[in-house]
Amino acid sequence: MPVDRKLRNDKSVVLGITGSIAAYKAAELASLFVKQKYQVFVVMTHDATEFITPLTLQTLSKNPVTTSFYDEKENWRPGHIALADAANLLVIAPATAHVIAELAHGLADHPLTAIALATRAPILIAPAMNGKMWEHPATQENVEKLKSRGVEFIGPDAGMLACGYEGVGRLWKVEDIAFRAEFLLRQHDRLIA
């Protein structure tokens, strides 16, 4: 995955999208990152492609979208490792309970979780799920495990959920996710300077 640092800011954001109804909001997030002059590389789980098309994200990010390990036929180097190495920040928005569990347990059976396992960049997770799923002790335990490893969470928000329930589980406001991502990138710059 070539990273063209001459055309844009020298920061690369890998945007992970999982299979939540809130996946459509990732299009706005990708657009905001591009407006902030970041290189944006989108990685989608298979389930995410049921909610929003890779073509939409490719058009907005101006880069190929990774949906499978089999997308990585460009050269000899595995694309997910190239993305893990190039990332200055990994943002997963929306993040389902399933992907949070995979991350907490170090599973890497698709490109997004493999990138999360291989990157040394900061990770920002914006959960979106049913409130009962968010509040379940297993999910909370997985979140705490990831926080103890330095992963940052933003949200979820309270309100009407896609399932018809009202409660905590909505994706945090996209503008606020972008703002937090920018803060983390600046903070990371200060730590390595």
Residues noted as catalytic? 163
Per-residue exposure over 62-88, b if at least 16 CB sit within 10 Å of its own CB, e if not: ebbbbbeeebbeeeeebbbbbbbbbbb
Name the token pair of 141.
Answer: 């335990």
CA 193 to chain CA centroid, Å, is: 25
3 state DSSP class of 150: coil
> Using CA atoms, how far apart are residues 135 and 156, in angstroms rounded to an integer?
11
